[in-house]
Structure 1
């Protein structure tokens, strides 16, 4: 058993919906300390001097990651050591260290928990056990709420489907929620999943939300191929800010390094589209043979829903499924629940 104050800090870290990296970071450090009691738990980087330093990333990727995926624990599906706060540190992780990230308190608690193990106020086994207890409890709570929300929607299966414009409004509301930067990717991917048989094109499996293109080898956030063909023909890159000429030039550099014969490179933005940028994108066709375009996210989905009007409910169901199965590191639990609540409210008038 851990002390009540320790338990409170652990719960605060585990229940932080906006930043899940510290959970995996703590688990890797605690596991290393349990495995080798001689290490200094505050030294999870081999760059730190001393024989008591260790590779926390090794424990994270070799053991913690397997645990997270096997039991679908509500924390990051990828290593914590590539997140900005925990990347390339070379000093002792003492409580006076200021780790850059938000919310601030989650990092304060993380360092204090490491210190409590270092000073032997807490045993690493007990702290790790308490983390797992909270993660399993949170997982059960989340699953119960989701089941209830989905059950409420299923009660209205026989109602008239939402109109295209009502779906557009629903998606707009969802985009306006906090932490919605992953949603445009899911919307475009859902559109292709809905009509892949009709158009003979489909999207490749999506890369992790926080993974850089250099790490994944991806050309864009959503890559489209012809059915039964690995050749990428269209790429979508999502921006939750205004697209600039520099963004387009970076895309040009990426394309210059690939052998794929891409036909379209499309930017999807949730911000205002500047005429100069749109014209610049349009001008590149003659130079490259590739059509560049900058499109508004909601405008894209609105046209899709009207063009494939009879598939609109299928699209909505596919989007809902993609939102639900997405890791909480890219679509938070509150954001998942928000969609189900918003959809239930939109369909309420149909009952």
Structure 2
């Protein structure tokens, strides 16, 4: 394993550990860490300002995570140009900000260190000169770093506290009353989904690629009880959006298993990405060791420009080697076909609404967009 892979695993595991502790606090399985009044107020300030000061939040998260992994590191020296410094920006860009986005926490576009107020020629001492606004946030930010470095404030417990409050805030923002239209024609359902997938989400729409996965999964939830092919088969629970299939052991985004646990059918879903031979090869690596009967690679992208001669050649090659029926198709055309198989398409809508309500990768803006789109369609 490369050094970068080991680092990614270390930061990923630590973030997941901290996040899980925060989730346990939210579900009342454990209690919120206890600090003195001053420190509690400083941590609360970070949480309160997180949405409008994403850079400060990402930087502090990076420093606290790094300190928990490297206790001997003085986290005030966040650049390699400092004596005994380290590259906080690299760690943030590669590991921290992507994770914050994946759990729908406030996050900058790529790194918290994009602003001059956070990346200067000075370490984060109490007399740090650049103007972080407001002053209460600057004071909280620098004091917490100082306490971690000089007064044995536990960096991991501090971050558990911050994460726990952000989880509570995030859950409060979830929309409980999602629109659930019934008796729509299939054409309107497809229009709703296509508009939802491609909505102009703030910040580039991180998490929108999960929506086509949830739509296909919702269709399978219906078909498991209505289509003879899936009689006695098991629809596996969806993996976490941040889990790599190769690491989780799943053959794709959606997996249907035999009763003995072996893979029966798999689906890999791409959002606005054209299917290429390389994508087919990567998918084959996931299922080649199993006796998968059928495997779909679906995309929301327009496949008119695809080189079907190359794709079909690769599909035939895999079929000869493995015996799996490999199918490349569009998400929308596949959903149209699946919906025609159902006794009542309202069940599909109910499943999709429930899935976007509860999936951790789906954010408040995706849920709000769904309500807005349904409302607009009903008024046309």
Confirm or deny a common fold (TM above 0.5). Answer: yes
Distance change (3 Å), C-alpha of 1:9 and 1:245: same
Equivalent of 1:272 in 298, 302, 315 = 302
Distance change (3 Å), C-alpha of 1:23 and 1:193: farther
Q: Distance in 2 between matches of 1:16 and 1:320?
A: 31
Structure 2: runs of 5+ lacking an equivalent: 1-37, 76-83, 98-107, 125-139, 200-204
Match of 1:210 in 2: 242
List aligned pairs for 1:95-244, cutoff 5 A: 99-100=92-93, 102-104=108-110, 106=112, 115-120=142-147, 131=162, 135=166, 138-139=169-170, 141-143=172-174, 146-147=175-176, 149-150=177-178, 153=179, 161-177=183-199, 178-179=205-206, 180-199=208-227, 200=231, 201-226=233-258, 228-240=259-271, 241-244=273-276
Match of 2:67 in 1: 43
Is the 8 Å Cα contact of residues 225 and 233 (structure 1) preserved in structure 2?
yes
Structure 1: runs of 5+ lacking an equivalent: 30-41, 55-90
Distance change (3 Å), C-alpha of 1:312 and 1:10: same
Report the CA distance between 1:306 and its aligned residue.
2.4
Match of 2:81 in 1: none
Is the 8 Å Cα contact of residues 14 and 131 (structure 1) preserved in structure 2?
no
Report the CA distance between 1:174 and its aligned residue.
0.7
Q: Distance in 1 between matches of 2:113 and 2:336?
A: 41
Match of 1:69 in 2: none
When normalised by structure 1's length, the TM-score is 0.65
Q: Distance in 2 between matches of 1:133 and 1:203?
A: 32
Report the CA distance between 1:10 and its aligned residue.
3.8
Report the CA distance between 1:345 and its aligned residue.
3.2
Is the 8 Å Cα contact of residues 185 and 222 (structure 1) preserved in structure 2?
yes
List aligned pairs for 1:305-320, cutoff 5 A: 305-308=339-342, 310-320=343-353
Report the CA distance between 1:337 and its aligned residue.
2.1
What CA RMSD, in Å, does the superposition of the two structures yield over aligned residues?
4.1
Secondary structure of the residue aligned to 2:69 is: coil
When normalised by structure 2's length, the TM-score is 0.61
Is the 8 Å Cα contact of residues 224 and 233 (structure 1) preserved in structure 2?
yes
Report the CA distance between 1:119 and its aligned residue.
2.6
Instruction: Map Cα deviations across residues 223-249 of structure 1 (whole Å, 9 max, x no partner).
Output: 1124x4423111111122111111222
Is the 8 Å Cα contact of residues 190 and 332 (structure 2) preserved in structure 1?
yes
Equivalent pairs, count: 281
Q: Distance in 2 between matches of 1:215 and 1:165?
A: 37
Q: Distance in 2 between matches of 1:213 and 1:127?
A: 32
Q: Distance in 1 between matches of 2:148 and 2:324?
A: 62
Instruction: Map Cα deviations across residues 25-82 of structure 1 (whole Å, 9 max, x no partner).
Output: 67x65xxxxxxxxxxxx63324x7x3x789xxxxxxxxxxxxxxxxxxxxxxxxxxxx
Match of 2:102 in 1: none
Equivalent of 2:326 in 292, 304, 311 = 292
Q: Distance in 2 between matches of 1:8 and 1:187?
A: 38
Distance change (3 Å), C-alpha of 1:23 and 1:181: farther
Secondary structure of the residue aligned to 1:243 is: coil
Report the CA distance between 1:94 and its aligned residue.
7.5
Q: Distance in 1 between matches of 2:265 and 2:254?
A: 8
